[in-house]
Amino acid sequence: MNRLSIILAVIALVLALPWGRDAGAEIRTSHFRFVPDSGSVGVAEQLAKTAESERGYVLNLLGTRDDRVIEVRIASNEESMMQMVGTRRPVRDWVAGLALSSRDLVVLSARGNEVFKVADTFVHELAHIYLRTALDGRSVPRWFNEGFAMLVASEQVGERLKTAMGAAATGSYIPLERLVDSFPVDPPTVHLAYAQSMLFVRYLHHHGGRDAIPSLLTEVRAGMPFDLAFNRVFDGSVSAWWDRFEDTLDPASALLWILSSTAVLWVLVTLLFLYAYLVKRRRVALKRQAWAIQEEIDRVREQARKRGIDPYEVQ
């Protein structure tokens, strides 16, 4: 074995180490090996309880088999996340998980992020790994890959819809062709990319029929290019379906949705209370002014009476 082979073997061994966890904290199920750090053992225990059923759900939806044992590393802080991923650079704050299918590895942040909970992230990353199996390694657009993973994870749509509606109201959607090979790397653009992908794939799933997406994957797995397979299954091009989807989020509806959002409603309620308070203050001030005028009239009339003048002739 030459020196280069030894160095590569050492690097592989270092990357495979259970960084940042207590010895003996590993949890195994039939198809998973959970490797938490010392601060995420409880998260691993909770995920292990549902891991096999979640696996079955995703594989059944895809109509494929995958008997690999997947290692799931769970990090409770940024340093642990870096070590588990095997990088010296900080992992971006918005990254809640990573799927490395070639290494049978999922890395999760126990903290999640502002959108994902860790349980959702787990299913999301499983979807990426098993989708690759279902496609037999063939590629699909990044927007479809991410959108499908969010569909399977049953992520709550509220925050994503808020992001998409904001883009609709301002006409600032990211062109879908820019999301074929990669996503932006910085928020808020990356959040918009995820929002578009999630809502568009949900739209396809809802309007294309229950079997549309599995049929699309079958065609791609058989070697048909994605765009051609999409056109065949959905009886229309990606761009045509995107136009239909975008029409459901027209600027007027988006603006109405934004104006009716909880945050805006609270602002409006606050403004109404402020308006009512100012009106009340104005009425009180007018009443005091009326009282002062009446007191002055009474004083003048009293003086007139003392002088023998009919007080009601005083105007």
pLDDT of residue 73: 94
Residue pair 146/183 in contact by the 8 Å Cβ criterion: yes
By DSSP bridging, strand 70-75 and strand 32-36 are parallel
Interval 125-151: pLDDT, tens: 999 999 999 999 899 999 999 999 988
Whether residue 35 lies inside any domain: the answer is yes
pLDDT digits (tens, 9 = 90+) for 231-259: 999 999 999 999 998 887 755 444 444 44
Q: Are residues 177 and 202 in the same domain?
A: yes
Same domain, 145 and 128: no
Domain hosting 123: range is: 14-134
- Percent of the chain clearing pLDDT 70 (strictly above): 69
Domain count, the chain: 3
> What tens digit of pLDDT does each residue of 55-73 get?
999 998 888 899 999 999 9
179-188: average pLDDT: 85
Q: Is residue 7 in a domain? A: no
Do 110 and 188 belong together in one domain?
no
25 and 107 fall within a common domain: yes
pTM for this entry: 0.66
What is the radius of gyration, based on Cα positions, of the chain? 32
Q: Are residues 242 and 147 in the same domain?
A: yes
Q: What's the token pair of residue 239? A: 């761009």
Q: In what order do the strands lie in the sheet with 70-75?
A: 27-28, 32-36, 70-75, 105-109, 97-100
pLDDT recorded at residue 198: 86
Predicted local confidence at residue 150, as pLDDT: 86
Domain endpoint, select from 115, 134, 153: 134
pLDDT score of 14 more than 70: no
Q: Which of 82, 99, 134 is the last residue of a domain?
A: 134
CATH number at residue 121: 3.40.30.160
Residues 163 and 130 in one domain: no
Per-residue pLDDT band at 156 (split at 50, 70, 90): low
Domain boundary pick from 119, 134, 149: 134
Q: Is the pLDDT of residue 21 over 60?
A: no
Residue 212 CB partners (closer than 8 Å, separation 6+): 204, 205, 233, 234
Q: Is residue 254 part of a domain?
A: yes
- The reply to whether 3 falls in a domain is no
Q: If you count them, how many residues does the chain have?
A: 315
Is there a domain that residue 233 lies in?
yes
Nearest Cα residue to 133 out of 217, 34, 216: 217
Please check whether residue 199 lies inside any domain of the structure: yes
Q: Could you tell me if 116 and 180 lie in one domain?
A: no
3-state SS assignment for residue 107: strand
What the block records as the tokens of 185 is 């790397």
Give the mean pLDDT of 150-172: 63
Confidence category of residue 1, pLDDT binned at 50, 70, 90:
low
73 located within any domain? yes
Residues 36 and 85 occupy one common structural domain: yes
Residue 111 lies in a domain: yes
Statement to judge: residues 63 and 124 lie in one domain:
yes
User: Cβ(32)–Cβ(67) under 8 Å?
Assistant: no
The Cα 19–Cα 6 span in angstroms is: 21
Query: 90 or 232, which is more confident?
Result: 232
